[in-house]
Amino acid sequence: MKIAFIVFDGITFLDFIGFYDVVNRLHLFDKTKGTTWDICALAPEVKDEQGLTIRAGKIKPDLSEYDLLFVPGGLGTRKLRFQTEFVDWLRQGLEVKHVVSVCTGSLLLGAAGFLENRKATTHPKAYELLEPYCKEVVRTRIVKDGHVVTGGGVSASIDIGLYVVEMLAGREAADQVKEQIDYPYERIGMIEV
């Protein structure tokens, strides 16, 4: 399993790090041993809404070479969804086996065509922005429609991370991660289409 974590200027880092901290543990479990990941961007460094900077490990890699594509959200998604270079790059992942977003990352998936004829969710304050991109906006915490999983607002990144660990490595693995991070998550607001 090879994961691409997409980062960009204007990201909300909790969207990214909540999912990352949970999912990077996949390599600990038998079913997902050997899992690797790259932090991918169009530029060597990206800044969040407050100016915190991180370095990307891969600059504009071919996203079709990954097994799981993760797209977080943030205020930067509002403009980024109209930037051709970014949207075209994201489209490389249309055939990736597992596609996941949290918060307004779903706007980027929508702009790139991942959500066509699918149900999806996003941050509750962005439901209207998501409507043009999908079949139906579902006002809930997590929506899985086919190979695409979308999550709600910022803290949903941890929930969706646990969902993905369970999906790929099993319930026992997800329970172990919950214990490791001392997280009292119980599956709520989950819709599988």
- Active site residues per annotation: 103
Measured distance CA(72)–CA(11) in Å, rounded: 7
Contact 72, 103 (CB under 8 A): yes
Query: According to the 3-state scheme, what is the secondary structure of the chain?
Result: CEEEEECCCCECHHHHHHHHHHHCCHHHCHHHCCCEEEEEECCCEEEECCCCEEECCEECCCHHHCCEEEECCCCCHHHHCCCHHHHHHHHCCCCCCEEEEECCHHHHHHHCCCCCCCEECCCHHHHHHHHHHCCEECCCCEEEECCEEEECCCCHHHHHHHHHHHHHHCHHHHHHHHHHCCCCCCCCCEEEC
Radius of gyration of the chain (CA): 15
Q: Cα(155)–Cα(10) distance, rounded to whole angstroms? A: 17
